[in-house]
Amino acid sequence: MYKFYPYLFISLLVLVDLLIKYHSIENLLFGQPKPFIPFVDLLLIYNSGIAFGMFDLDQKIFSNIIFLIGILIVAYLASILRNEKNTLKIYSLAMIIAGALGNLIDRAPDGQVTDMFHLIVMDYSFFVFNPADAFISIGAVILITSEFFHKNENV
């Protein structure tokens, strides 16, 4: 039974991501910042690039290539997840997979993903991102950290 927990976790994170994106589309005005918490404004934008708007070239062919690469990455990570024994690595992989799936589902209809969290520090605009981007980033940091500090351990 416990083997299904990571897949339930993935489903939950994808659902959270898509619900926040839907809520943002329904309640925010495109391109109009709205204060949220210190250092973060809500700012609805769409991008055809990858995480944090990188490579946003607004070209359908590039977006389709990103979509196909995303599917391959999810399939590869899912194969690693299936065989992983370390709990920390399992859930970090699950976060990365969930983020990738959330963005793939969002990208499928029109080649763009919905972003809404605008990071601003000392009046400097860093980037606009969505929950899926955060899941991928946090999962990657945990995975990399676990490789350095928990080598050959089962947590």
Question: Which active-site residues does the annotation give?
Answer: 115, 133
| Strands 40-47, 34-37: pairing kind | antiparallel
Give the span between the Cα atoms of 113 and 152, in whole angstroms.
37
**Which run of H or of E encompasses 2?**
none
Angle at 64 between CA 60 and CA 67, to 5 degrees: 140
- The CA distance from 137 to 105, in Å, is 18
